[in-house]
Structure 1
C-alpha cells in the first residue's frame, strides 16, 4: 500500500492593519512561500483594496480573495480580505479604535478561514484553491491577543511576529517588572517617574513617557491600548515562537537578555520585483529614479516620515525651508494628507524654486530602491523600524526625527548605541525644529566619515545575517522546519 503523502504546510498570516506592519508581514509570507509553505494572507477589506490597487493598475477585484502565484512551481500566496469593523469614512489612523474593533470583527472571520480550510483536504482546500488545511497561524504581535487565541482554539501551531525592534518587544515583556519597580502605573501604564531606565546594560536608555502605549491616543485610549498590549504579552508567552524583524548584530544585548525573541531580519522589504510586498500606495518609481540618476554620488538628502507622522503648518514650513537652506538636492516624500491639497501650506515661492530641479517632491517613493541609489547620502526619517532597517541595509546615515510609539527607542539606537545618525532637536522656546537646525544636522551627518564607516559596518552585518549560513536565515529555516514537522 502506497504511503499517504504528508499534507502541505499552510500558514495563515495576519498583520496589524497599518502600512508599517503589512509590509514586513508580507515579506514573512514570501519567505514562507520560498520554503514551500502555502500562505493565506489576511488583510482588512480597506487595506486589501489598497494593496491590490498598488500591485496593479487594473481595477480591484470584486471578490474578497486575490491569488498571486510565486513562480512556475505552483507556490502560492492567497490574499484574503476581512472586515475591520470601521465605517467606510472612519479615520483608520485612530489606531486605538481600530485595535479595539479588530477582535470583535476580524477574529470570527479568521476562525472561519481556519475551519473552512479543512474541508476537502489537500485536493479541495479552501474554496478550491488547493492550499489544504491551515496548519499554523503567524500573527503580528499587535493582533496576537485574539489571533493566537484563535490558533489555540483550532489546535494549530502559532507564532508571533514582532515587526519592530527587539528592545521594544523586551519593554512589553518587562511590563510586570516595570510595574513592580514603580516605573509605570499598573492600571494604565503611565509614567510614574521622569527618570530614564535600562532593561539591561548596552540596551537603549528608555523614557517611561515614551513607551509605546504612552505615545498614542488620549488618556482613555492609552489605558485601553496598555491593557490590550498587556493581554498580548500573556498571549504570545504561550505561542511557539516570537520572530523579530531585527538581527543579532544590531541588538546583541537584547537578544542575550530575552532569548525567547528570535531574530529573523532585517526582512528584505521592497526587494521582490513583480511581487506584492504590501504597499498601500503606488510609488512614483520612474520619476524618483530618473531624478536620482541625474544627481551626483552621495549628494541627495532623502526625506520621508512614514504613514502617520503629521506636522503643524509652522513645522512643515520650517522643514521645507531647512531643506532648501542645505543647498543640496533633496527628495522629499510629502503625503497628500499632510498638505490637504492646499499648496499654500508650503512657504511662499518654495514650489517655484524647487521646480528648477534642486528639490524633488513626490507623494510616495520606492524607499528601498531610493536608499540603495548611490546618489543618496542622508536619510531624514521618523525612525520607524522598517525605515531604520532599510537605512542600515543600504548604509545610509540618518537624521532622527521620531513622532510616536517605538520611534523614540529607535532614535536611541540610531544616535546613542549604533552612532549612525544625529537627533533633530526642537527649539526650547518655540517647540519647533528650526530650519537652521535642520540644515546643520544634515551637514553634520553628511560630513562625518566615522558615522559613514559605522553604518557601513552595520550594513555588512545585516547582509551577512540574512544570507545562507547567517543567523537570521538559519533562524527562519529552523522556524519553518518546526512548523512543517
Structure 2
C-alpha cells in the first residue's frame, strides 16, 4: 500500500509536437524544483529527434544535467505505434489516427509497468489533447491532472463546442458569421478568431476533430487542470472556467533562468545567431519564424521574402527544411540569398529565446504560437501576426485586439502581398511609428513578471495547486486502503 504522507510522484505525457514538449519540460523542472518526483515520457520518435538534434548518435537522457542538480526526474520513452523512420508530418492524418486509436494501449502497458515497479507513483500529468487520461488514471488509482499548453480562451472555446454547434457557429453547412457573445467568460469573439478546427463547416470528422471531441469530453473527468497562461491577462475567462472545474493558471512556465541553464528539447539542430546579432544596432533586427509544425505555401514564402527585400530591414528568418512540405525543399525566390548578404540571415532552426532576448531584435513576425507569444512578452518584443492554423487565430486576437502588443501582417480577408509585408515590417521596426505598441508591450511584460514573482498570482496558483494535489493524493490513498482492508 502507498503511504498517506507521500510526496507527489507524477508521470508526465507531453503531446508529440515541439510546441507541447517545451512547456512540459519546463513544467517538469518547476515541479521537481518544488519537491515532486517526475517520470517524464516522450514518444520514441520525439526522443530520437531530440537526441539527433543535439548531435548524438545514440539516444540521450535530456534530464541528466537536472539530476546532477539533485532534481528527481527520470526519462523514459513509449512507442507511438509507428516506426522511427515514419514521416509523421507527411502522413499527418494516418499518424493522428494512430494517436487516437492505438497509442493508449502502449501507454496502458507502460504505466502499468511503472506503477508495479514503483508503487509511490501517485499522479498523472497529461496533455489535454490526449483522449485516454481518465481511463488510465482510474485504472491505476492516479490523480488525473490535465496540462493545457495554450491560453484559457482557446480552452474555453473547445470546452463549449456544443454551444457553438447549437448556435450555428460551428459544424453547420453555413456557419454563422456574426459576433459570438454567449461563451461564458468571453465578452465576444468573431468566428474568424475561432481556432481553425472550429471554423470548419463540413469537414468536421477529421482525425484531429475526433481527437478534440474525445479529449474535451475526457477533460470533464480531470481532477485538476493547470494552464500555461497568466490570470491577469484572461481574468474573466479563467473565472468562468473555474465554476466548472478546478483550473489553475500557473504560466508562463519558463525554464529556470529563462535564457540560461535550460534543457534543450528542440527537435532540430539549433544555429547560434549571437555573433551575427552582436554586429547589428539595437532594435534593428526583425526575427521571423513560423514555428515547428505549420506548413506554408510557396507563394506565401515568396511574398514574405520579397517583402523583406523591399523593407531593407535586417532580419533573421527561421526556415525549416519542411516548411512547405517534407518533399519540397527548394522554395525561396531565385537569387534571394545573394540579395540579402549582410542584412539577412537564414537558419533552419535556432534557440528562439536567445534571439528575441538579444537587444538587436526589435520585432517578431510570428505564426502566433503561444510559446512564442509568452517569450516575446517576457523579452518586451512587439509582434507582427500571421496565424496559420489551430489556436493561432485565437492567439492573434489576444495579441492584437485584446493586449494590443502587436499588429496584423495583413487583414483577415486580404491576400498577402509583398508591398503590404514591407509596409508592416518598416512600421514595426521604426520605433517612432510603433511607439504605442512598444509601450503596451512594456506594460504587459510588467504584468507577466509580477505574476511570476514570489507573491505573484501564478506562484500563488501553483502553490495552491500543489496543496490541493497533496490532499487529493492522500484522499486516493485512503480510499484504496479502505478497499484493500475490505478485501482482507
TM-score scaled to structure 1, two decimals?
A: 0.87
1:283 corresponds to 2:277: no
The Cα shift of 1:308 comes to 2.4
For 1:371 and 1:479, the matched residues in 2 are separated by: 31
Partner of 1:385: 370
1:139 corresponds to 2:135: no
Change in 2 beyond 3 A, CA 1:347/1:196: same
- One of 388, 397, 420 as aligned partner of 1:437: 420
For 1:92 and 1:342, the matched residues in 2 are separated by: 13
Q: Which moved more, 1:449-458 or 1:245-254?
A: 245-254
Q: Which moved more, 1:240-249 or 1:261-270?
A: 261-270
Change in 2 beyond 3 A, CA 1:455/1:479: same
1:362 corresponds to 2:347: yes
1:68 corresponds to 2:64: yes
SS in 2 for 1:345: coil
For 1:235 and 1:440, the matched residues in 2 are separated by: 46
The Cα shift of 1:181 comes to 2.4
1:150 corresponds to 2:136: yes
Partner of 2:80: 84
The question of whether the paired residues in 2 share the 8 Å contact of 1:10 and 1:39 is answered with yes
For 1:358 and 1:407, the matched residues in 2 are separated by: 29
* Offset from partner CA, 1:450-469 (integer Å, 9 cap, x none): 11011111011111111211
Change in 2 beyond 3 A, CA 1:426/1:317: farther
The Cα shift of 1:326 comes to 1.3
Change in 2 beyond 3 A, CA 1:484/1:370: same
- One of 376, 401, 408 as aligned partner of 2:386: 401
Partner of 1:262: 248
Change in 2 beyond 3 A, CA 1:233/1:309: closer
The Cα shift of 1:269 comes to 4.8
1:243 corresponds to 2:240: no
Partner of 2:203: 219
Partner of 2:12: 13
- One of 92, 97, 101 as aligned partner of 2:94: 97
- One of 56, 59, 68 as aligned partner of 1:58: 56
Q: Which moved more, 1:323-332 or 1:340-349?
A: 340-349
Partner of 1:346: 332
The Cα shift of 1:110 comes to 2.4
The question of whether the paired residues in 1 share the 8 Å contact of 2:313 and 2:343 is answered with yes
The question of whether the paired residues in 2 share the 8 Å contact of 1:67 and 1:76 is answered with no
1:333 corresponds to 2:331: no
For 1:354 and 1:200, the matched residues in 2 are separated by: 49
For 1:427 and 1:354, the matched residues in 2 are separated by: 29
The Cα shift of 1:112 comes to 2.8
Extract unaligned runs of 5+ from structure 2.
472-488
The Cα shift of 1:79 comes to 2.1
Change in 2 beyond 3 A, CA 1:341/1:16: closer
TM-score scaled to structure 2, two decimals?
A: 0.86
Extract unaligned runs of 5+ from structure 1.
126-131
- One of 190, 193, 199 as aligned partner of 1:206: 190
The Cα shift of 1:217 comes to 12
The Cα RMSD (Å) is 2.7
The Cα shift of 1:113 comes to 3.0
* Offset from partner CA, 1:361-410 (integer Å, 9 cap, x none): 11111111111111111110001111111111111111110001111111
Q: Which moved more, 1:71-80 or 1:325-334?
A: 71-80
For 2:398 and 2:110, the matched residues in 1 are separated by: 40
For 1:227 and 1:279, the matched residues in 2 are separated by: 28
The question of whether the paired residues in 1 share the 8 Å contact of 2:133 and 2:218 is answered with no
Q: Which moved more, 1:448-457 or 1:193-202?
A: 193-202
Change in 2 beyond 3 A, CA 1:13/1:191: farther
The Cα shift of 1:221 comes to 4.6
Q: Which moved more, 1:272-281 or 1:145-154?
A: 272-281
* Offset from partner CA, 1:48-104 (integer Å, 9 cap, x none): 1112333x4332239xx7762525453232222212123433333655433331244
For 1:413 and 1:110, the matched residues in 2 are separated by: 35
Partner of 1:129: none
SS in 2 for 1:258: helix
1:46 corresponds to 2:45: yes
* Offset from partner CA, 1:243-279 (integer Å, 9 cap, x none): 1111012212211222243211011158374553522
Partner of 2:477: none
For 1:361 and 1:208, the matched residues in 2 are separated by: 32
SS in 2 for 1:249: helix
SS in 1 for 2:316: strand
The question of whether the paired residues in 2 share the 8 Å contact of 1:292 and 1:375 is answered with yes
The question of whether the paired residues in 1 share the 8 Å contact of 2:322 and 2:329 is answered with no
- One of 232, 236, 261 as aligned partner of 2:215: 232
SS in 2 for 1:280: coil
The question of whether the paired residues in 1 share the 8 Å contact of 2:175 and 2:201 is answered with no
The question of whether the paired residues in 1 share the 8 Å contact of 2:305 and 2:333 is answered with yes
The question of whether the paired residues in 2 share the 8 Å contact of 1:309 and 1:403 is answered with yes
For 2:426 and 2:417, the matched residues in 1 are separated by: 14
The question of whether the paired residues in 2 share the 8 Å contact of 1:204 and 1:413 is answered with no
Partner of 2:301: 316
